[in-house]
Amino acid sequence: MEGVLLVDATTVRAWIETTAQVITENKDHLTHLDAAIGDADHGTNLVRGFDAAVAALAEKSPETPGAVLTTVGSTLISKVGGASGPLYGTAFRRAGKALATGDDVSAEQLGAALQAALDGVTGLGAANEGDKTMVDALAPAVRAYQQALAAGAPISDAARSAANAAAVGAEATIPMQALKGRASYLGPRSVGHQDPGATSTALLLAALADTLDGAPA
């Protein structure tokens, strides 16, 4: 099977544009999830953030994949409030930093960027897997990506494995009790609801896999 071998800045930007669309389409769903165990703003927070990220990319036209991700991260930090803004912002900034100044990203480099994003989220938010947060989607996604790569999968297949693992991880938050973030204030009443941040992480990674599927090899 043919697959994309390297990811350039245009493709990373296309991912962010697709993400903005997908987040907009799922705005009410994310807000509804956050209404159950939080303050009903996750959908609006992320729509505002990714719309601003698309606008920042149009204005600044960063030339490398790393610079695209860094721009997105800084925009999310400045435009999205709450917990998810700094967490996603840090994730994108760390991923961007991991890619440094190269023009093209290899499958291995994308794996390192995903790991850096996860390390950024756990470094800032101190959540472990099982705490009912975005980490429950991102951590298994990073593992699945690395496993697929080790098995010889092309970058787009590895990204699809990551997206699938994130979706499974997001669904697995339903029976969990939240131990971090606003949902943790509910204690045992947080059980029985899917975590909004894990859900948006799964959407972001599905958008990445879709973008890489559509990218020219």
> Is 43 or 66 the residue whose CB approaches Mg ion more closely?
43
Q: Which stretch binds ligand ADP (CB under 6 A): 2-10, 60-68, 191-199, 209-217?
A: 191-199
How far apart are alpha carbons 96 and 75 in whole angstroms?
A: 13
Q: How far is the CB of 205 from ligand ADP (least distance, A)?
A: 14
One character per residue 125-164, x = contact with ligand ADP (rule: CB under 6 A): xxx-----xxx-----------------------------
Binding to ligand ADP in span 68-87, by CB under 6 A? 82-84, 87
Kindly give, in sequence order, each residue whose CB lies less than 8 Å from that of residue 135, ignoring residues fewer than 6 positions away. 118, 121, 122, 125, 127, 128, 129, 198
Buried/exposed 68-82: b ≥16 CB within 10 Å, e otherwise: bbbbbbbbbbebbeb
How far apart are alpha carbons 215 and 199 in whole angstroms?
A: 24
Please answer whether residues 141 and 114 qualify as being in contact, where contact means their C-beta atoms are separated by less than 8 angstroms: yes
Beta bridge pairs of residue 7: 105
**Chain-centre distance of CA 59, in angstroms?**
22
Q: Does 41 bind Mg ion (CB under 5 A)?
A: yes
Q: Does 53 bind ligand ADP (CB under 6 A)?
A: no
User: Among 43, 41, 37, 46, which Cα is nearest to 173's?
Assistant: 37
Q: Does 165 bind ligand ADP (CB under 6 A)?
A: no
Q: Does 39 bind Mg ion (CB under 5 A)?
A: yes
Q: Does 34 bind ligand ADP (CB under 6 A)?
A: yes
Please answer whether residues 192 and 175 qualify as being in contact, where contact means their C-beta atoms are separated by less than 8 angstroms: yes
Q: Does 195 bind ligand ADP (CB under 6 A)?
A: yes
Q: Does 38 bind Mg ion (CB under 5 A)?
A: yes
Q: How far is the CB of 59 from ligand ADP (least distance, A)?
A: 24
- The contact set with ligand ADP (CB under 6 A) reads 34, 38-39, 41-42, 45, 82-84, 87, 121, 125-127, 133-135, 180-182, 195-198
